[in-house]
Structure 1
Amino acid sequence: MASTQYRIKTNNKSNSIFLRFKQGSQFDTEASTGIKAPKGKFSSSLQRINPTDEVNYKKINATLRDLKVHIEKQYSSDSVDGVIINNKWLRNNIDGFLNRKSNEEAIDERQFLSTFMDSFIDTAKKRLDKPNNPISYRTIQHYETTKNKLNDYENHSGKLVKLTDIDLIFHEAFIEYLDTEQKLNPNTIGGYLSVIKRVCRKAELKGYEVNINYKSSDFSLPSNKTVDTYLTLEEIHKINNHKFDKDYLDNARDWLIIGCWTGFRVSDLLTLTKSNLDGGFIQKDTLKTDFPVYVPMHNNVKKILEKRNGKFPRRISDPKFNDYIKEVCKDVGLTYEIKGAKMSPIEIERNGKKKTIHRKVSGVYKKYELISSHVCRRSFATNHYGKLDTLTIMKITGHKTESQFLKYIKITPREYAVKLKKYWENINVNEFVNS
């Protein structure tokens, strides 16, 4: 039976407590815990620090008791797996328990969430989501952003997060940090927690010790109903027919019209060239899903290409596209006020210094202020919903599930009611006489 014993080797004002771990002639190893005991206050017989005002002896004694249990428990597991029990093994396990990384990845990834996330991300870069379909760049990017937010949280709390720490207390503290310190909205926070749950599931499948609270229904993913806008068919028609004095607005308007009639993400939209033309269709292997999408050319799109000698509009950057289409919509007259959310500067204080960050803020704004590149895809989906079958629209927009797609549709309850009103006005009343 292996035994653990604490002792001190010096008689200084402050003395390191060592842990000796041995089992007969099989092994006898010792390592410093890094925990200090005041001179004359450590009891070898009782294996504790006696009452003193010099240190928080109750907390230290509780840590020493728990460390013993941890070492013995880890030995029971590792000895079965044939792990060599030596000084290095003991130091690594002491460091892991006391939230100190050993700088040995194989050891640390079994203990710390951030280290395991590094391994998870590296593996994801090589993993196939489906046969012959690698994990998308955007998904990897989301994993890495989550890891960065975890690092920010650890720096804020002053403590590394272990896989065994992912409980409801962590859940509440992480949400509070991202909400109050990072000023993030519930949907964004929910996305980060979703990644952490996925990482924990993977760690558990690898046989690592994980807090099972991550599976609890109380370990929920915050969300809120987004207030996003779209361009109606009437507004798209108005924008398409407007005459602009400035060339850069005319160019941006043409990209906007193409986007509204193709449903492409901006990363795919602004990279279209003549090589993407295939007869009466536009073909594109989308960046996010790497899935080939074919979209028939709407008459408005055909006229734009004819106007530009068969070429797409002049290429511009994503940020400029976002800025210019706001100007386009303002010039067209989309100045009425609606509910929505837009990126706004927020001043926060971190480490005693004021800093400006940008976050989405809900409120009532003029419609053109709420226009961004996302309006293209959202308008395409919303304007075709109910006119085309949902699967056809999803194949073009790239939504994987109907629930994701339906969240994207931005028809308001009043707009549904107006549609019903128009339908009633156009039907033959005799159809409903016997209904």
Structure 2
Amino acid sequence: MASGNFKLKTDNDWNTIFFRFKQGMQFDIISSTGLKVPKGRWSDARQEILSTHEVRYKDINVKLKGFQAYIRKEFEDTKLQDDTVIINSKWLKEKINFFFNRESKDEKINDKVFFVSFLKSFIEEAKTKRTKRGTAVKPRTIQYYNTTLNKITAFESFVGVKLKLIDIDLNFHEKFIKYLENEEYLNDNTIGGFIDAVRLICGNASKKGLNVCNDYKLTEFYSPSNKTKDIYLKDSELNLIYYTKFEQDYLDNARDWFIIGARTGFRISDFLKLSKDNLNDGFIYKQTHKTDFPVIIPIHEQVQKILDKRNGEFPRKISDQKFNLYVKEVAKIVGLIEPTEGAKVVPQEIIKEGKKKVINRKKHGVYPKHELVTSHSCRRSFATNLYGKIDTLTIMKITGHQSEKIFLDYIKITPREYAEKLKEYWRKMNSEIS
């Protein structure tokens, strides 16, 4: 039967604890645990560190006893494996690294211990993984995982610690949020997205039976968020944009795309890719990019006139960046200049590592309305303007929202506008009675 015991090889001021593991003539191997004990404070007979103020001897002794139980179990498990496992010094060293959560030369061992290593393997798996619907994971989702990886790696460099899966606890949660706020200058919603990703990764590691701290399941392991003040344009404002004549061709082209976006409810990644192939018998057919969901929507009168103006063709293709730049100019020309609460990306000067640096971050405030108009305003305007006029499920089928709760949070009707709707309803009721 295999047996193991700890021993010292030296009698110096500080001595490394080794572990010897053997079974008859089959193997007799020894490897360093990496733990050290002060001179004269080790007991071979008791296999533990004696009382001392120089190390946390009680904690180390508990860990040593745990390792002995662990190594016996690992050895017995090798007898159940199909492949022949060679019990040698390399095998023992890997088990020591795994148990004590240390880096190994074997990446498969590291994947089971270290957060970044596991995240890298998670990303590689995601590239070939299928979703519940049987579709491939979207490149945008893979990019989101990679961005999370970059933030975690930067955080490790900042604190000077290589995180283990077991380290992802409430203490990490607090420090990581502070780092993203104070060093990366990110807003709450962006930070919340990274915390969501961390929870997802920990949950995946837990399902694989890895040693994970369960703090990620606690309500205290929250994802920060802030109520965004995203704007929408009322029908009257959209009509103003539609009927305004623009002398510059690039503004006329951007305006037409904006109206198409606001009258279809598509995301910019979808409406800027529309072509004649998407038209059939008075409807627009589109397999949406983000959700891969087929959407059919009747052609709005304004969209049809834009097509007629261009001999049945959609406007000239432009980039997302130019679209967002031009529509602000369009909105300014038609007079959308009233002070409006919202958020926009602004340059911000910071000092990092003693050097001045300019970064672009979203900043909440009150701005002229035209400065807040973006591609997101199209889809949000579509949903908000139709809400209450047709059933909510129909709007959700077009916008792709999965739940009414998320949809209601997405539309941007103010309390005053709800009150005005009720006032108008009562007015109509009274006029009918009289």
Same fold at TM > 0.5: yes
Which residue does the alignment assign to 1:5?
Answer: 6
In the TM superposition, 1:107-122 aligns within 5 A as 107-122=109-124
Which residue does the alignment assign to 1:406?
Answer: 408
Partners of 1:7 and 1:44 within 8 A in 2: no
Which residue does the alignment assign to 1:72?
Answer: 68
Residue 283 of structure 1: SS of its match in structure 2? strand
In the TM superposition, 1:307-386 aligns within 5 A as 307-386=309-388
1:45 counterpart = 2:42 = yes
Give the distance between the partners of 2:395 and 2:389, measured in 1 at CA.
10
What is the CA-CA distance between 1:228 and the residue it aligns to?
0.6
CA shift in 2, pair 1:426/1:140, >3 Å: same
1:149 counterpart = 2:151 = yes
Give the distance between the partners of 1:241 and 1:411, measured in 2 at CA.
24
Partners of 2:11 and 2:39 within 8 A in 1: no
CA shift in 2, pair 1:266/1:10, >3 Å: farther
Residue 104 of structure 2: SS of its match in structure 1? coil
Which residue does the alignment assign to 2:81?
Answer: none
Partners of 1:6 and 1:18 within 8 A in 2: yes
Give the distance between the partners of 1:80 and 1:135, measured in 2 at CA.
39
Over residues 297-348 of structure 1, what are the superposed CA-to-partner deviations in whole Å (9 max), with x where a residue is unaligned?
A: 1010001111111111111111111111111101111111011111122233
Over residues 395-417 of structure 1, what are the superposed CA-to-partner deviations in whole Å (9 max), with x where a residue is unaligned?
A: 11122222221221111111111
Which residue does the alignment assign to 2:167?
Answer: 165
Which residue does the alignment assign to 1:30?
Answer: 30
Give the distance between the partners of 1:320 and 1:58, measured in 2 at CA.
63
Partners of 1:99 and 1:160 within 8 A in 2: no
TM-score between the two structures when normalised by the length of structure 2: 0.88
The letter of the residue matching 1:19 is F
Partners of 2:275 and 2:314 within 8 A in 1: yes
Give the distance between the partners of 1:6 and 1:328, measured in 2 at CA.
79
Over residues 31-75 of structure 1, what are the superposed CA-to-partner deviations in whole Å (9 max), with x where a residue is unaligned?
A: 3455678xxx544635669989xxxx436x678546535633542
What is the CA-CA distance between 1:4 and the residue it aligns to?
4.4
CA shift in 2, pair 1:6/1:193, >3 Å: farther
Which residue does the alignment assign to 1:19?
Answer: 18
Residue 131 of structure 2: SS of its match in structure 1? strand
Over residues 339-365 of structure 1, what are the superposed CA-to-partner deviations in whole Å (9 max), with x where a residue is unaligned?
A: 111112223333333322221111111
CA shift in 2, pair 1:353/1:24, >3 Å: farther
The letter of the residue matching 2:19 is R
Which residue does the alignment assign to 1:391?
Answer: 393
Deviates more, 1:146-155 or 1:81-90: 81-90
The letter of the residue matching 1:21 is R
Partners of 2:41 and 2:51 within 8 A in 1: no
Partners of 2:17 and 2:36 within 8 A in 1: no
Q: What's the RMSD between the two structures over aligned residues?
A: 2.7
Which residue does the alignment assign to 1:261?
Answer: 263
Give the distance between the partners of 1:107 and 1:216, measured in 2 at CA.
28
Over residues 254-281 of structure 1, what are the superposed CA-to-partner deviations in whole Å (9 max), with x where a residue is unaligned?
A: 1000000011111111111111112211
Partners of 1:43 and 1:50 within 8 A in 2: no
Identical aligned pairs, as a percentage?
49
Partners of 2:338 and 2:368 within 8 A in 1: yes
**1:301 pairs with 300, 303, 306, which one?**
303
Which residue does the alignment assign to 2:55?
Answer: 58
Residue 342 of structure 1: SS of its match in structure 2? strand
Corresponding residue pairs, total = 422
Give the distance between the partners of 1:99 and 1:351, measured in 2 at CA.
32
Deviates more, 1:355-364 or 1:130-139: 130-139
TM-score between the two structures when normalised by the length of structure 1: 0.88
Which residue does the alignment assign to 2:82?
Answer: none
Partners of 1:15 and 1:36 within 8 A in 2: yes
**1:185 pairs with 168, 183, 187, which one?**
187
Give the distance between the partners of 2:180 and 2:99, measured in 1 at CA.
26
Partners of 1:8 and 1:17 within 8 A in 2: yes
Which residue does the alignment assign to 2:283?
Answer: 281
